[in-house]
Structure 1
Amino acid sequence: MELQSYQQARLSRDPRFDGVFYVAVKTTGIFCRPICPATPPKEQNVEYFQTANEALVSGYRPCLRCRPESAPFSPAWNGTQTTVQRALNIIHEEGFHALKLGDLATRLGITDRYLRKLFVEKLGVSPKHYVQHQQILFAKSLLHQTHMPIQDVAFASGFNNVRRFNDSFKKITTKTPSEIRKHPATDDPIRLQLNYQPPFDWEHWHNFVEFRKISSMEHVGTSSYGRTFLWPDGDNFVKGRFNAVHRPDKQGFNVSIVIDDPKYLYSVVQKIRQVFDLNANVGVITKALMTAGLPEHNVTPGIRIPSCWTVFEAGVRAILGQQVSVKAATNLLNQLVEELGDKDTIDGTEYRWFPTPQKIAKSRLLFLKIPDARKQTLIRLAKYCLDNPTADPQMWLTLKGIGPWTVEYAQMRGLSNTDIWLESDLGIKKALDIFPLIEPDNASPWRTYLTFNMWNML
């Protein structure tokens, strides 16, 4: 049945399958996305792979027309509860610099050997080869789409010198970076197209974020969203900003990025994908919601998780939103950023950044018109995150003033956890009055989308 659906999808160039599988052509040695505009090859000349890594390991080269490196990563097995997915989250969030696979296995609580076994089983490659392939695929995307100098491309892709980058790139793609290069090197902003599997409910994402917008930090247009961001760099932070324009005709976003240090570009791009939830496998999620008992005509196709930039930011938003309206919470957030956020004027425009945990931990927050107990909760959270920057928000429950709803909200919007069911939320309780037969556990590991669907019906 899966083979038949793959055959139909590639022949119809169905964008819903973009990133779900890849089509390798035996006669040319090239592999493509199912939406490739090239004339479809005969079925006897085709081989199917679930990931680009499997195709690369099998000796196929990425197509220069459809560019497989640009596909969303949404295999059917993808879910937050798998060890492989947690490993991938760490790799993609932290990038390739100083990544040690032994440390990765330790963080996952497994052995190096078992980690290799899981990667081969799910992705068809070892962790080492997976990382190398991601480096090259990202570099290929930058060479195709940006004006970045090759040296910067190498650095952004996790290579410490250009010679090693050139050797690795040619080994995997059979071409040199210079042969792939599409644009002359300039100092222009970095511009990329980030793709998704349709549909994408832009109206829902846009309205949710606009209602909670921090005006001095975020810009929400009719078809665009932009914001400033900080990226950790040792004891300091690298500043940056991006703007994304929705292009539903191209199933993606045109994104421009400005960042002080290109070394962190890969991780920043992955974070932007998380902000828009571009890797969501819509077909799999829709089936899960219907399994939970939500009638098909009540499933809003293409709802995405609107993510904050950091889990700390999500936690602050949740605390300020306790027992007040969304509008009142947003006003408080704007005051917080105005008072404590760094600011710069660039080309005549003033930009502000969300306050770091250190800034909030040192403040008495006297400018906020909220109960002192809530101020102290914010300060406790800031101090905790300052000392434990990578701790799971579940540990926040040890802090006075933070309960399950705050933690779950932070996991949902800060970590893009796809399996959060806000059972105690008043809106969810109202929605369950309309659909009392919903069995949320049947939607796991996609219960966050059930949460948003239920909110959307109110």
Structure 2
Amino acid sequence: MSENRETCRGEARIFAVMDMDFAACRRAFLTRDPRFDGRIFAGVKTTGIYCRPICPARTPKAENMTFFPTAAAAQEAGFRPCLRCRPESSPDLGAWRGTSNTVSRALALIEAGAMDAGDVEALADRLGVGDRQLRRLFKQHLGASPVAVAQTRRVLLAKQLIHETQLPMSEVALASGFGSVRRFNETFQQLFGRPPGVLRRSQAPEASAAAGGITVRLPYRAPYDWDGIIGFLSARAIPGVEAVEPRRYARTLAVDGARGVVVVTPGAGDYLVAEIRFPRVQALPAVIARVRRVFDLAADPALIGAHLSQDPALAPLVAARPGLRAPGAWDGFELAVRAILGQQITVTAARSLAAKLVDAYGERIEDPAALALGLSCVFPTPDRLVGQDIAALGMPRARGAALEALARTVADDPTIFTPRADLESAIAALSALPGVGEWTAQYIALRELREPDAFPHADIALMRALTDDEGRRPTAQELLARSQAWRPWRAYAAQHLWAADAVQPQQIKRTKTDAKRAA
């Protein structure tokens, strides 16, 4: 009897996390509703597998189904991934439900590899909470422990690499974060009842390896405003480090001392295609995590848009760009340098200064594929800027000194740009950095720490975008007060306002031109 009561309580917690009851979950599977892909997973008691709502297999009887909010919860309960609907191909929305900022930050750290060499206690310390509290939050919001989440991410990435690439199994094991090939084989044998090689032989790879690298698909929740995000990145692209075209983004990247190239293009479906060339396959999880972060693939645009549309001023902006994302950053130090360079000057001028910085201190890359794309340098590391006269590149001496001091600080503590216990503590820590004020701290929190509620309320473009019909724009404090209604998605509100502000001059110019023609 007590066991039955505990089962009922567990199911009640799961349905509370999903905000759906059993009937609603089953209906999503009966109709194969793609809106719930990534939100719920079904475990089939008779087969021991778990599936996505869009699985093409016949929907099991109700009494044989149990539902989970995450793939990790299903896997921890003893179910294995379906080979037909492939749960590793579903959009990952766990970090963006707005239910627990601590869990969201923990998931970001796990995706970046925090659990590969550490444990739950170390992860909890980085987040400023106790390990028991972190385990409780994971159970409450994700239905699985941090260890299970990390293990599931490794398994699903490995499974994706098996299906989508021709990497040898030994490299798949290393690329997906397994400490050894033996552990990799044991995990797959235990989970699927067969060695990993059989999975590849049972299904032809969906994508061939890129020359000298690999190609993977990275799913997202539609719609996706590719033009919006590529426009944002293009305006800030540093020559030699980044090369941007309307349907392709390419850049150089350094991970743990290894240098490589990433090329991202829109896919034929609800996914982006990432072509990754790195000399060390162990860097692959970190590179994929960065691609997902920069292109904001974990966002749920319907959820965020519905919330922001409650403000009459934001509603038309959301309707105009329903798939707008908040672009992330490739590297915290690089973003901080860019932000400091851009203080009190235009985006174009800041880009020019960044190009001079890279040309003077960036590391050259000799990869022929990179050179063919117009990529020649990797953004300089903090060590390369320590002790340099950066102001000689053509900026105020105070700003050059601030950059050198920032480089020295980050070189001494590379963990500065990692998530904190909360947004307030993150802003306080960032504001203590040389050359970083409130605006810059909020901007770094928005793009590097991926804080969905970060909001640089003193930004002139945000205030300008909310100018009323009488020509009055809000003050910084008035904007801050108004933004309280947009929480916890103020970062996305800022992105909509920036996008609107960027097109206003063009609209004004077109209006004046039309008026002249009419006259």
Q: Normalising by the residue count of structure 1, what TM-score does the alignment of the two structures yield? A: 0.91
Q: What does residue 493 of structure 2 align with?
A: 450
Q: What does residue 367 of structure 2 align with?
A: 346
Q: What does residue 288 of structure 1 align with?
A: 307
**Helix, strand or coil at the partner of 1:198:** coil
Q: What does residue 242 of structure 2 align with?
A: 218
Q: After TM superposition, list the pairs within 5 Å mapping 1:105-116 onto structure 2.
A: 105-116=124-135
Query: Is it true that 1:241 corresponds to 2:266 in the alignment?
Result: no
Q: After TM superposition, list the pairs within 5 Å mapping 1:51-450 onto structure 2.
A: 51-75=70-94, 78-79=97-98, 82-181=101-200, 182=203, 188-232=212-256, 237-247=257-267, 249-299=268-318, 300-347=321-368, 349=371, 350-392=375-417, 394=427, 395-434=429-468, 439-450=482-493
- Change beyond 3 A, Cα 1:21–1:409: same
- Change beyond 3 A, Cα 1:445–1:138: same
Offset, 1:173: 2.6
Offset, 1:41: 4.8
Supply the distance in 2 between the matched residues of 1:19 and 1:326 (Cα, whole angstroms). Answer: 37
Supply the distance in 2 between the matched residues of 1:283 and 1:416 (Cα, whole angstroms). Answer: 18
Offset, 1:72: 2.1
Letter in 2 for 1:225: Y
Offset, 1:166: 0.9
Q: What does residue 514 of structure 2 align with?
A: none
Contact residue 239 and residue 355 of structure 2 kept, 8 A: yes
**Structure 2 residues without counterparts, runs of 5 or longer:** 1-18, 418-425, 502-519
- Change beyond 3 A, Cα 1:8–1:183: closer
Contact residue 18 and residue 72 of structure 1 kept, 8 A: yes
**Structure 1 residues without counterparts, runs of 5 or longer:** none
Offset, 1:310: 0.9
Offset, 1:177: 0.6
Supply the distance in 2 between the matched residues of 1:95 and 1:152 (Cα, whole angstroms). Answer: 20
Cα-to-partner distance string for 1:71-113 (whole Å, 9 max, x where unaligned): 2221386349622222222211135431222212222233333
Offset, 1:43: 5.2
Supply the distance in 2 between the matched residues of 1:16 and 1:252 (Cα, whole angstroms). Answer: 15
Supply the distance in 2 between the matched residues of 1:135 and 1:292 (Cα, whole angstroms). Answer: 40
Supply the distance in 1 between the matched residues of 2:466 and 2:388 (Cα, whole angstroms). Answer: 41
Supply the distance in 2 between the matched residues of 1:344 and 1:22 (Cα, whole angstroms). Answer: 44
Supply the distance in 2 between the matched residues of 1:290 and 1:308 (Cα, whole angstroms). Answer: 26
Letter in 2 for 1:364: D
Letter in 2 for 1:103: A
Offset, 1:175: 2.7
- Change beyond 3 A, Cα 1:12–1:205: farther
Supply the distance in 2 between the matched residues of 1:244 and 1:40 (Cα, whole angstroms). Answer: 36
**Helix, strand or coil at the partner of 2:386:** helix
Offset, 1:252: 0.6
Cα-to-partner distance string for 1:138-163 (whole Å, 9 max, x where unaligned): 11111111111111111222323222
Contact residue 73 and residue 143 of structure 2 kept, 8 A: yes
Percent identity (aligned): 38
Deviates more, 1:184-193 or 1:366-375: 184-193
Deviates more, 1:375-384 or 1:85-94: 85-94
Contact residue 241 and residue 378 of structure 2 kept, 8 A: yes
**Helix, strand or coil at the partner of 2:273:** strand
**Helix, strand or coil at the partner of 2:390:** coil
- Change beyond 3 A, Cα 1:418–1:295: closer
- Change beyond 3 A, Cα 1:118–1:111: same
- Change beyond 3 A, Cα 1:111–1:152: same
Deviates more, 1:295-304 or 1:202-211: 295-304
Offset, 1:7: 4.9
Supply the distance in 1 between the matched residues of 2:468 and 2:47 (Cα, whole angstroms). Answer: 55
Contact residue 337 and residue 353 of structure 1 kept, 8 A: yes
Offset, 1:53: 1.3
Contact residue 94 and residue 142 of structure 2 kept, 8 A: no
Task: Give the length in aligned residue pairs.
Answer: 453
- Change beyond 3 A, Cα 1:105–1:192: same
Letter in 1 for 2:20: E
Q: Which has the larger radius of gyration?
A: 2
- Change beyond 3 A, Cα 1:403–1:440: same
**Helix, strand or coil at the partner of 1:362:** coil
Letter in 1 for 2:214: I
Supply the distance in 1 between the matched residues of 2:184 and 2:20 (Cα, whole angstroms). Answer: 37
